[in-house]
Amino acid sequence: MTAPEPDAPAAPPAAAPRIFVVAGEPSGDRLGGALMGGLRDLDPLTQFRGIGGPQMTAHGLESRFPMAELSLMGIWEVLPKYRALKRRIAETAQAVLDWKPDALVTIDSPDFGLRVARLVRTADPSIRTIHYVAPSVWAWRPGRAAKMARSIDHVLAILPFEPPLMRAAGMTCDFVGHPVVAEPRATPPAAARFRARHGIAPDAPLVLCLPGSRRGEIARLGPRFGRTLALLRDRVPGMRVALPTVPGVAAQIADMAQGWPTVPVLVEDAAEKLSAFAAADIALAASGTVSLELAANRVPMVIGYDMAPVSRALIGWMLRTDTVTLVNLVSETRAVPEYLGARCRPGPMADALAKLFQDDAARAAQIAAMDLTMDRLGRGGEPPGLRAARSVLGAIRAPL
């Protein structure tokens, strides 16, 4: 009688994923928090280190230094702190190398994150480098993708047409859905309460005014938007205006709006902002991701944007598309009218807004484009944070 074969040794348990995450702005912190939540859902033992804000610290991250140090916009804000930022880049890269995680995930903020990734890649190519939010190479500077590929292995894209562009540059890439599809919406009763709270009749025309969230944008666009609404008021009897803002620029917004003929309802509270979006009939907005927030709430819009003359000339020269509005791009329509650069003038914008009040077909075309956009961005599917987490784990497990 032959002796039984000994049992095969059990496979060692898979080590818990170790992820170093870096976010530099509140929007990146929100993405990072959702990603960390998704990773913990898939593997509760996942370990994190890195830099982030309150959304990421809520998932257990101890930020190496305050994320606010990285929340800078524009060359004039960056220059005085350049040496400090350069030191933080080197410190962060060394922290990654010392811990030797499975992956470094940099979230948006490419001026900081990609520099960290470059140092890590040069010193230890075995650490996966992943970037969350692809650069807008479809709009301008297509060479950025090839440059990024020198430091990044894998990209988490939030727009559905981006993966082929990233793959062509030499990186792997997954579309993981846009965070706007997972953001909360106010209910119709909340919208009705917003109107009642601010003395806006249920049938009064309500316009959202969104001149941006940065001081330079507000200073440039606010006066033009104010004159646009003054022209519109003469054509839309009983019109009211709501002006959402954020704490850092609330005083600037209030000062700007004091002389407007239609005194706006200033909205600073986050829950109030959701209710204002749900209550609005149409919107006049700066170009940016706010167009997707409006689309999620099915608010027809007109987009206006301008910048300093030199920047306007440079961007105009480099721009590779005939529209910058994400609803137009994702839906492959041109349903949302936009007035950019020299075309950002009160008269034409007032005409376009008036048309949205008067032309049912124009409103219907926008709403159809918005619904298509939300579907293409992942509405109704798995939450973007969980999709991003699956993509990160897949990238870690893929052969180098």
Does the pLDDT value for residue 76 go beyond 80? no
Report the interhelical angle of 26-42 vs 384-397 (nearest 10°).
Answer: 70
Helix (H, G, I), strand (E, B) or coil at 68: helix
What pLDDT score was predicted for residue 73? Answer: 44
Task: Check pLDDT > 80 for residue 378.
Answer: yes
CATH 3.40.50.2000 in the chain, residues? Answer: 18-177+381-397, 188-376
Q: Which two tokens stand for residue 281?
A: 């009939």
Average pLDDT over residues 388-395: 97
- Please report how the helices 250-257 and 215-233 are oriented relative to each other, as an axis angle in degrees rounded to 10: 30
Mean pLDDT of 9-18: 63
For 164-208, how does the pLDDT look when each residue is reduced to its tens digit (9 = 90+)?
999 999 999 999 999 999 999 999 999 999 999 999 999 999 999
In terms of Cβ atoms closer than 10 Å to its own Cβ (0-12, 13-18, 19+), residue 255 is: exposed
61, two tokens: 């991250």
pLDDT at 232: 96
Distance separating alpha carbons of residues 294 and 232, to the nearest angstrom: 20
pLDDT at residue 91 is higher than 70: yes
For residue 138, pLDDT beyond 60: no
CATH superfamily placement of domain 188-376: Glycogen Phosphorylase B; (3.40.50.2000)
347 pLDDT above the threshold of 60: yes
- Beta-sheet strand order (sheet of 47-51): 47-51, 18-23, 103-107, 128-132, 154-157, 172-175
The 10s digit of each residue's pLDDT in 272-299 is 999 999 999 999 999 888 999 999 999 9
Q: Which of 41-45, 99-103, 143-147, 184-188 has the least mean pLDDT? A: 143-147
Mean pLDDT over residues 36-51, rounded?
96
Average pLDDT over residues 212-240: 91
SS3 content of the chain, % helix, strand, coil (to 5): 50, 15, 35
- pLDDT tens digits for range 105-134: 999 888 899 999 999 999 999 999 999 998
**The residue type at 190:** A
Q: What is the pLDDT of residue 315?
A: 52
* Euclidean distance between CA atoms 145 and 172, whole angstroms: 12
Q: How confident is the model at residue 25 (pLDDT cuts 50, 70, 90)?
A: confident
What are the phi and psi torsion angles at 130 (to 5°)?
Answer: -125, 135
Query: What is residue 3's predicted lDDT score, i.e. its pLDDT?
Result: 44
Instruction: Give the residue, 217 or 61, on which the prediction is more confident.
Output: 61
Task: Return d(Cα 258, Cα 264) in angstroms, integer.
Answer: 9
Closest CA to 113 of 84, 152, 153: 152
Architecture of domain 18-177+381-397: 3-Layer(aba) Sandwich (3.40)
